[in-house]
Each structure stands twice: as C-alpha cells, then as structure tokens.
Amino acid sequence: MRCPFCGNEDTQVKDSRPTEDNSAIRRRRSCPNCNSRFTTFERVQIREMIVVKKDGRRTPFDRDKLARSIQVAVRKRAVDQERIERLVTAIQRRLESSGETEISSEHIGEMVMEALLALDPVAYIRFASVYKNFREVTDFEELVGKIGEQDHPFGN
C-alpha cells in the first residue's frame, strides 16, 4: 500500500481488526520512509457497479464519494462516525444486492435522502438542497413542509 504522505510503496501493517459491524477489516499502517501512520479499510466487493449520471456519463461506483457526500450533510451535527459508516455500508449493500450493474445517480441520491431522513432531519435538508439544486427559499419551505406532514422519528 502506497503511503499517502510521501508516496513510498513499502508500508507496513501494524494492526488489523474487523470493524464493529464486521463489514470490513481496518488496518493501521506505518511508513518506514517518513514514519507517518494511516488507516486503510479492506471491504468485500460483490460486483463492479457503474453509476449513470443525469447527463448520461458513466463512472465506477465510488464508496468514498458516497461517504464524503454524507459527511458534508452531517457536518457539525451530533452524528457518530460509526453510524455514518453503517449507513454507507447499508446503501452499498442494497445497491450490490439489487443485481444491477448500472445504477442511476438519482436512485443513489434517493437512497441517501431516505437514510438521512431517518438519521438526522437537518442533514436530510442539507443533502436535499444540494441534490435537488434548490434555488429559492420556497424550495426549502416545501421540503420542510413535506417532512412535517410525514410520520418520522423526530415528531412535531
């Protein structure tokens, strides 16, 4: 594994252990060249998935990109990192178990919104505002109104 700090190709595994939900192996690594430490995760990949964008472009599914978009939505919210990891893993597993090799970005976005609504209403609104490309205050009002009409774990 290449060191992300100095680019050295010869790093050493110092510790390996399963994640809390046993969906991955967490490895602590050390670089003998620059003495930096970093963590990697090893996960099972059932099949190669392609994301079909709104403009028709096709890109490989990127779990890290999915995790980053969720991280942005929950930034400065009281959401544990482990819960975010479980959410990302659950979405990835649902996508893989669908049997489809090509998945629309809209489908992934809807799955994320559904999961965020159950996790944190503010994160849900943040994600939706970017995902749905809100341009007016009325867009937010409409979304918040829909949340208020639904039965959800946050009550009214």
Amino acid residing at 84: I
Angle between helices 137-149 and 121-131 (to 10 degrees): 140
Check residue 21 and give its pLDDT: 76
Check residue 144 and give its pLDDT: 74
Please check whether residue 29 is in contact with residue 1, taking contact to mean a CB–CB distance below 8 angstroms.
Answer: yes
Q: CA 2 → CA 27, 29, 42, 65, distances in Å?
A: 13, 10, 14, 20
Check residue 45 and give its pLDDT: 66
Q: What is the mean pLDDT of each run of 10 residues along the chain (156 residues)?
A: 93 92 88 95 79 95 93 92 90 89 94 92 86 73 69 47
Q: Is the dihedral of CA 117, 120, 125, 131 positive or negative?
A: negative
